[in-house]
Amino acid sequence: MKKETVVIGAGIIGLACAARLTLSGFRVRLIDPNSPGQGASFGNAGHIATEQIEPLASPDTLKKLWSYLRDPDKPLRIRRPYFFQALPWLLRFAWACRPERYASGVEQLKLLQSAAWIELERLFKLIGSPCLLHQNGNLLLIENAKNQPHAIQHVNFLNKHHVDAQWLCHRMVLKLTPMLNSHITGAIHFPKTGHVSDPYTVCQALHQFLLDKNVGMVRATAQAIRATSEGLYIDCRETRIKAHKVVICAGAWSAKLAASTGIYAPLETERGYHLNLNGYQSGLHLPVASYERKVIISPLHNATRITGGVEFGGLELPEDQSKYGILSKHLKCILPDCDHHTQTRWMGFRPSLPDHLPIIGQHPANPNILFAFGHQHLGLTLSGITATLIDYLHKGALTPINLYPFRPERFGTV
């Protein structure tokens, strides 16, 4: 009997890793207390954001932090009861915003992003669902003319880093997307990015592929990983599972599991919200984000979705209901003709590390324990490349990307 690899967490990262390992001929089992794709991977914007080569931990973010916190539309919010819990993470984040740290973060994220599209496309083809991926580009809208010089500067910066981006004037934006509000002053166009038909449909397609390949799925909550002379044991609330190798992909819930292996991961969740107009087709063929509003509107196969917000409130506090009114207002301002269709509301937990880079790598003392979490705002985008890298590590092969900046032990041990 083949030795078994257990993947903990059936979000987009765990599903993609499980699919990749199965395609390489390994015997895989998935553990999750919920059905696949119910975490952050369920309701994200579905944007394949390969243009985002800058970690959010940047001098620019630090400069604007105060204005974001004071903005009545709350693009960034720290929930009062959670302030002191979030503080250590926020201080580490501020430290990661140093210009030299940010500059190396750009180089490191660029490495992942340069292979992100191709690996995602390959994965979708391998599981037989290439039609879920659309390379229609995306727009970053500028509403206030005073922000244009900064946007144009940003285009130059991105071009210098080989990201395909161009400035579109007001007339060109409305020609491309006539349904947008005519007050838009211009936009950055990213022609090589894309979106998926629906992020949850992607999870379902990966799950179906795994079912067809007879990959076992256990409904259980992993609590700790123990290395013994007989192999690895995953202690779950409900059961105990033996594995030859394990991959930790539990999104925002991964820190405790990493700690059980001696790895310290200062993981926080950046909570985000969506409002879905079910059945509503706006006519948009590409996602449009707003520079000023910090939201993105995505054309899904049977809905129009607006997502936004970064909220520090941990994993337990209830949703902030006022966020939905704010999203609705932004939607109306950008897409004035949008209809009041049946709306569904959702909040999800982005898994974020203070340097805004994911953890992808092997345990320094036990190569049978692998880590893939902390993909912050880019988990869907980076799922294909993450799965490929995990497959390389799992085989004991040299990875095509230097994984040192993403190593699990970079924040220390417990």
Ligand X SMILES: Cc1cc2nc3c(=O)[nH]c(=O)nc-3n(C[C@H](O)[C@H](O)[C@H](O)COP(=O)(O)OP(=O)(O)OC[C@H]3O[C@@H](n4cnc5c(N)ncnc54)[C@H](O)[C@@H]3O)c2cc1C
* Closer to ligand X by Cβ: residue 335 or 378: 378
> What CA–CA distance (Å, rounded) separates 26 from 85?
40
Q: How far is the CB of 11 from ligand X (least distance, A)?
A: 2
* Closer to ligand X by Cβ: residue 49 or 56: 49
**Structural tokens at position 342:** 């049946």
Q: How far is the CB of 170 from ligand X (least distance, A)?
A: 26
* Closer to ligand X by Cβ: residue 107 or 238: 238
Q: How far is the CB of 251 from ligand X (least distance, A)?
A: 2
**Structural tokens at position 298:** 């995505």
* Closer to ligand X by Cβ: residue 318 or 396: 318
Q: How far is the CB of 151 from ligand X (least distance, A)?
A: 20
> 79 near 317, Cβ under 8 Å?
yes
Nearest to 379 by CA among 97, 2, 1, 15: 15
Question: Crossing angle, helix 83-96 and helix 99-126, to 10 degrees?
Answer: 100
Which residues here bind ligand X, judged by CB under 6 A? Answer: 8-14, 31-34, 38-41, 44-47, 49, 221-222, 249-253, 272-274, 307, 348-351, 373, 375-381
* Closer to ligand X by Cβ: residue 97 or 203: 203
Amino acid of residue 168: L
Nearest to 37 by CA among 196, 193, 214, 258: 196
Q: How far is the CB of 34 from ligand X (least distance, A)?
A: 4
* Closer to ligand X by Cβ: residue 12 or 286: 12
The DSSP letter of residue 413 is B
If DSSP states are collapsed to H, E and C, what string results for 116-153?
HHHHHHHHHHHCCCHHHEECCCEEEEECCHHHHHHHHH
**Structural tokens at position 122:** 């390959």
> What CA–CA distance (Å, rounded) separates 191 from 341?
30
Q: How far is the CB of 351 from ligand X (least distance, A)?
A: 5
